[in-house]
Amino acid sequence: ILGIYDAVFAFTKLVRPIVRYLRSRGINTLVYIDDFFICHASEHLAIKSRNFLLHTLIRCGWLLSVPKHQPVSQKKVFLGLTINSLSMKFKIPDEKLSKFFEVLVMVKSQKVMPVRLLAQLLGLLNSFSRALGQIVRLMTRSLYACLQLTYFSKERWAASTSLSELA
C-alpha cells in the first residue's frame, strides 16, 4: 500500500508520458499532479488544445469531473494563484493574502506555537513563490530551521516550537 508521498510520486511518474505526448503535439501545458493548465496565444487554439487534452485523458482511462472544466479565459486560478496569460504573470488572490496575514498574526502573537501553525505559514509562503520568485525560499530558511528539531522528536506534528532570533 502506498503512502501519500509515494502515491503522489507514482502518479507524477504515470502522468509524465501523457505530458510528453501533449507537448509533442504542440500543447503548452503546465501540470501539477492532476491539475492541467493550458496557455495559447489565441482563444481558438486554447479551446482546440483543451479539447485535445480532454480527449487524450479520456482515451488514457481517466474519469474527468465535468463541473471543474471552466470556459477558456485570459485569467485563471491555478494552484491558488491567478495567472494572466497575456502578461504571463502570477498574482496572489486577495483571499489568500488575507489568510496569510491571519496566520502570520497568530504566529507572531505566540512565543511557543504548534508545529502545524508554523508549517501552515511556511506552506502559504511557499505557494507564493511563483508570484514572488525564489526569494521566498531564501527568506524562509530560518523559519524552516525552527521546525528542524521536531523532525526528530517523538511528538512530530503534536510538538511545539518557537521562533529563533533569526526567524
- Closest C-alpha to 37, from 82, 100, 3, 87: 82
Answer for the pair 48, 17: CB distance below 8 angstroms, yes or no.
Answer: no
The x, y and z cell numbers of residue 156, run together, are: 512530530
- Closest C-alpha to 69, from 94, 23, 37: 37
pLDDT for 6 equals: 79
Rounded Cα distance, 105 and 125, in Å: 14
Q: Write the pLDDT tens digit of every residue in 58-103.
A: 999 998 887 777 778 888 888 888 888 777 788 999 999 999 999 9
Rounded Cα distance, 101 and 97, in Å: 6
Which pTM was predicted?
A: 0.67
> Which residues of the chain have a pLDDT value below 70?
1-5, 167
CA distances in angstroms from 73 to 29, 80, 86, 101, 105, listed in the order given: 15, 16, 10, 29, 35
